[in-house]
Chains A and B, each alone.
Chain A
Amino acid sequence: MCSRFLSHKKAQKIFLGLCVLSLTSCADRKPVTTTAAAQTITRPVGVLRVCADPNNLPFSNERLEGFENKIAELLAQDLGERVEYTWWAQRRGFFRNTLKAGMCDVVIGVPSGFEMALTTKPYYRSTYVFLSRKDHHVDVKSFDDPVLRKLRIGVQIIGDDQSNAPPAHALTRRNIVDNVKGFTLYGDYSQNNPPARIVDAVEKGDIDLAIVWGPLAGYFAKESSVPMEVVPVSPQIDQPFLPFVFDISMGVRRGDQELRDQLDQFLEKRRPEIEQILKDYRVPAVEGGSGV
């Protein structure tokens, strides 16, 4: 499964995070101390401290309506604890100001092998998708479809200096530039779920096609007043190295192996329920995703 993608060492790290099973016996929960930056952080007993975005469905919001909220609830129940949130918009600085600063102990969704955290085994694998209105019969399945030169296409722009979300790069490589509209991923935070504006644009017919991360598209397509088409992009990797498929794990502070191991056990034990939650939220699954 690993080698199906690439043998590149870093690629394996990104896609598969930690392939090694590290199950240890679950001891009774004691306060655990880890060191982050220049301070010592003690995890309180009986409380699962989660950092999450208060305004970013389908992932999380402060009304606890996101799938990450549901998974956090399930996790707390499993550990016999209650969830306590620290809310923080998930943008540049999120991990530094929350997890690494000791304001919480878990982030429910991070890319596997993410450098800012110690990650669990992946619990789902999803993909970027082509999102369009069903009644527009756009029918695009690949980045190499010539019709992409004619459609009005929306992509999300991150502005991380040299890099953006992969669809933007894939189009540029094919010289598809003039018919592409950018939506900042940050959006206007005073509105609900700011990254979802690109889905609204498809719904209103402002663009013919959006190429977005699957969980966002799947959820808002379901919520939409007009029927939507959600098609996984192809190829899964644009050579030499532009992946559209990502494994997602939970993240804890680096050094907190004990909690990470507990989470790994939870992910294995409660796998059917977690998969049901993801299904309920229409997270597009890619085969081989729950690498447990």
Chain B
Amino acid sequence: MTMAPLVVKGKVLVGNSGGEFGVRGWLTALNASDGKIAWRAYHTGPDADVLIGPNFHPFYPQDRGKDLGVTSWPADAWKIGGGTMWGWISYDPEQNLIFYGTANPGPWNPDQRPGDNKWTCGIFARDVDTGEARWFYQFTPHDLHDYDSINEQILMDMPVNGQTRKVLVRPERNGYFYVMDRTNGQVLSANPFAYITSSKGVDLGTGKLIENEEKKPEVGKVVREICPASPGAKDWQPSAFSPRTGLVYIPHQNLCQDAEGLEANYIAGTPYVGMNVRMYAGPGGNRGEFLAWDPVKNQKVWAISENFPVWSGALVTAGDVVFYGTMDGWFKALDAKSGTLLWQFKCGSGIIGQPVSYRGPDGKQYIAILAGVGGWSGAIVAGGLDPRDQTGALGFVGAMGDLPDYTTRGGMLYVFALP
């Protein structure tokens, strides 16, 4: 388990991780009082295990049918099919629903798991008391690129075509900014917020992602310029929304990858030929971006180019200041309306943590940030990886070879008082 649990109505919600290791994903609710399992919903397998019953009403026909968590896989492949849950859960008290995304299918290769591989790479709405599924939508059916859909969703009521709708918005791994009706799972819009070659758009009539067949990776075949790369246009780093500015602030990366070549690999005494994945900056040459997006107009308002992927979360305050950190260790404050840099501070290590705002006992407002580079993107520094092996950290080292020139490992909590 690598996620932070969420407590809702006396239930502690937590999921598992490790889709690459042949696990079957689930989300579990524990009673906060005694730690007993109140319910567990699997993300592959028969409806009874997925907690799909008579109240399950997905918006699109491809998500309706009996035991799709079995039939959208080859025989038994779902038993080790992945679809874990290690990201973010949102709660809507009005509907008594939780919303969360599911991770990529694994450890099979795409060719070994023909079918949509339900219920991986999608989003569930569930009743928090019973775990019963209400609707589901699949962002990336039959995932080819490790577009693990555990990103956060932000719940808001906002005008869509002149009407106020209860929506959730999600800057998704596959590069689209989804606006969805959170009462029924309908996709209202899905516009690209990043450079995408792996797909050609989302069909709003059918709800289906239109895959680009030319970017399908295969062993022994070189496929260049798959964008976004496997970490997606945005990974798990959470965005922030300000009702004052009406903008969603999205920390994300601008990376593409080549899947190529042949490399002898070795696990538990067994040799095989692996695929080299090399990641590099997408168009523009910057590997990251901090983006302000207007969800109503469905467009970019401003963006700050960053040299490295922006792997920290975003925080926006009622003072119209937005904070984020960079992997080379700068903690930055911007004017939330214009994106103008107001202040920055160089921390002792790169930042992949989440900024926090709180009121201290003295009545002052404080902003805290944990610096300490690491994770998938920062493995080259935290793990001391050799930059000459560009395929290290599943190809991320190739894109981060210069990070050790900019920062060092460490773990420091910085707290700043606002004047």
Whether A185 is near chain B, meaning CB under 8 Å from some CB there, is: yes
Stretch at the interface among A24-32, A138-146, A175-183: A175-183
B230 within 8 A of A: yes
Known: A163-B109, A241-B220. A182 touches B272 (CB 8 A): no
Contacts known (A178-B74, A181-B76); A246 close to B271, Cβ less than 8 A: yes
> Is A115 a contact partner of B273 (Cβ separation < 8 A)?
no
- Chain A residues within an 8 Å CB radius of B273: 14, 163, 166, 241-243
Q: Does B32 contact A (CB under 8 A)?
A: no
Q: Give the tally of cross-chain contacts (CB within 8 A).
A: 159
Q: Is the CB of A169 within 8 A of B20?
A: no
Cβ–Cβ contact A159 & B106, under 8 A: yes
In the assembled complex, the Cα of A216 lies from the Cα of B392 at a distance in Å of 28
**Is the Cβ of B264 less than 8 Å from the Cβ of A111?**
yes
Interface centre among A92, A114, A185, A194 (most CB of B within 10 A): A185
Find the B residue at minimum CB distance from A13.
Answer: B264
Expressed in whole angstroms, the Cα–Cα distance for A169 and B262 within the complex equals: 14
Asked if B70 lies at the interface with its beta carbon under 8 angstroms from chain A, I say no
Asked whether, in the complex, the Cβ of B270 is within 8 Å of the Cβ of A165, the reply is: yes
Question: Do A111 and B22 touch (CB < 8 A)?
Answer: no
Q: What bracket does the count of chain A residues touching chain B fall in? A: 35 or more
Question: How many residues of chain B are within 8 Å of chain A by beta carbon?
Answer: 46
Residues in A whose Cβ lies below 8 Å from that of B112: 164, 168, 172, 177, 180, 182
Most chain B CB inside 10 Å of its own CB: which residue of A38, A160, A173? A160
Tell me which residues across on chain A come within 8 A of B394, comparing CB atoms: 161
B320 located at the interface, meaning its Cβ lies under 8 Å from any Cβ of chain A in the complex:
no
- A38 CA to B386 CA, complexed, in Å: 9
CB of B92 within 8 Å of the partner chain: no
Footprint of A on B, CB under 8 Å?
19-22, 74-77, 80, 106-109, 111-112, 114, 146, 217, 219-220, 230, 259, 261-275, 277, 383-386, 389, 391-392, 394
- What 6 A-B pairs are tightest by C-beta distance, nearest first? A159-B107, A184-B22, A111-B264, A162-B275, A159-B20, A246-B271
Question: What are 20 A-B contacts defined by CB distance under 8 Å?
Answer: A91-B268, A110-B266, A111-B265, A111-B271, A158-B270, A158-B272, A162-B275, A162-B277, A163-B109, A163-B265, A164-B107, A164-B112, A165-B272, A178-B75, A180-B74, A213-B269, A215-B269, A241-B262, A242-B219, A246-B264
